[in-house]
Structure 1
């Protein structure tokens, strides 16, 4: 049965829930990298958040299928929700790799990248909080999305420098394999976040 009684602005609240999950997952990922002795607990915390995000994303899709009027187009909500879930999944993949590769020693470059990702998650959470009033927050939303692009470029620079170091011939082979994959995952995560920022910018320009 289709619902036409209101504009269902609770969709924004659902998105905000997963933006908060992304922010928390980023914090856990950083904690895992700097506190490897407690990796097991960090993994449990991250898995619980990832499961929560999956349920929220599925609920958004379910409600989109039965709701006639939405504040912005269904496909825009779908793209925002799906891309945000991709970001969460990539972070979760990073923590899983720390376990799968039996990482025992922190990598300074990975920690530095993760710290930037935490900053990006904080900015992303703030932007999702402003989506409910797009017209009023147009400038802030666009500037925030562009700032996320700037942060992504910082990560690109750190990624290239670390890959160069890993392949300079002085590193153990297994360390090269492990950290190359982890750095790839972190860099891909930043790409996904930039992709989400671009969607936010497009939605802002469409509805402001």
Structure 2
């Protein structure tokens, strides 16, 4: 059977759905930081469900790429965008899982506040991404978006370095330092994935110009 135009949600619809799920996911992650151990388990489970839903949307993008004869942008670019959004969700889910698995229930206030700043950067990245997706049909009009994500990623880099410095100076048990460092690095990787996604949109805009 030859390639055809599949029915159902468009690529733009699917990418928008992925972006909306990131907003939900990071909201759950942010709530986890101030929750009790029992509440964290429930929130982690909810985050898993959102991640699974994101996986399904990503699979829909891949299936649509395999069935479509004509795509609005290069296949590789659309696949790249979907994969980076999936990376963002996977990393949020990983951070939430580590918080529960490591039993990080008594984080010093100064370290906790800095981790919250990292998550706040991700929250703003997710919000900006969800708001930008309806405009993806005209990527040239999204310059403000990718510039802002780049700025947020730079802010995230600074938060990451401050958090590590504070952690290493905290006098905590070395095992606890290692556990917290894992979470901090996953959050930093998530900010990087948002920047990679935004850079992908910029690349598409250059091709379309």
- 147-156 or 169-178, which deviates more: 169-178
TM-score (norm 2): 0.91
Aligned counterpart for 1:132 among listed residues 128, 133, 137: 137
**Match of residue 119 from structure 1:** 124
**Contact 1:83 1:195 (8 Å CA) reproduced:** yes
**Match of residue 23 from structure 1:** 23
**Contact 1:8 1:69 (8 Å CA) reproduced:** no
State the distance in 2 between where 1:173 and 1:33 align: 21
Q: CA deviation at 1:6?
A: 8.4
2:169 aligns to what SS in structure 1?
coil
Question: Please, which runs of 5 or more residues in structure 2 have no aligned partner?
Answer: none
- Give the direction of change, closer, same or farther, for the CA distance of 1:104–1:65 in structure 2 (3 Å limit): same
- What is the 5 A alignment of 1:1-208? 1-4=1-4, 10-37=10-37, 38-106=39-107, 107-134=112-139, 138-139=140-141, 141-168=142-169, 170-208=171-209
1:94 aligns to what SS in structure 2?
helix
Q: CA deviation at 1:172?
A: 2.1
State the distance in 1 between where 2:136 and 2:7 align: 14
Question: Please, which runs of 5 or more residues in structure 1 have no aligned partner?
Answer: none
1:110 aligns to what SS in structure 2?
helix
1:105 aligns to what SS in structure 2?
coil
- Give the direction of change, closer, same or farther, for the CA distance of 1:14–1:169 in structure 2 (3 Å limit): closer
2:136 aligns to what SS in structure 1?
helix
Q: CA deviation at 1:7?
A: 10
Give the root-mean-square deviation of aligned CA atoms.
1.9
State the distance in 2 between where 1:34 and 1:129 align: 32
- 173-182 or 76-85, which deviates more: 173-182
State the distance in 1 between where 2:167 and 2:48 align: 29
- The alignment covers a number of residue pairs equal to 204
Consecutive aligned runs of 4 or more in structure 1 exceeding 4 Å deviation: 3-9
**Contact 1:29 1:95 (8 Å CA) reproduced:** yes
State the distance in 2 between where 1:184 and 1:202 align: 27
TM-score (norm 1): 0.91
Q: CA deviation at 1:168?
A: 2.1
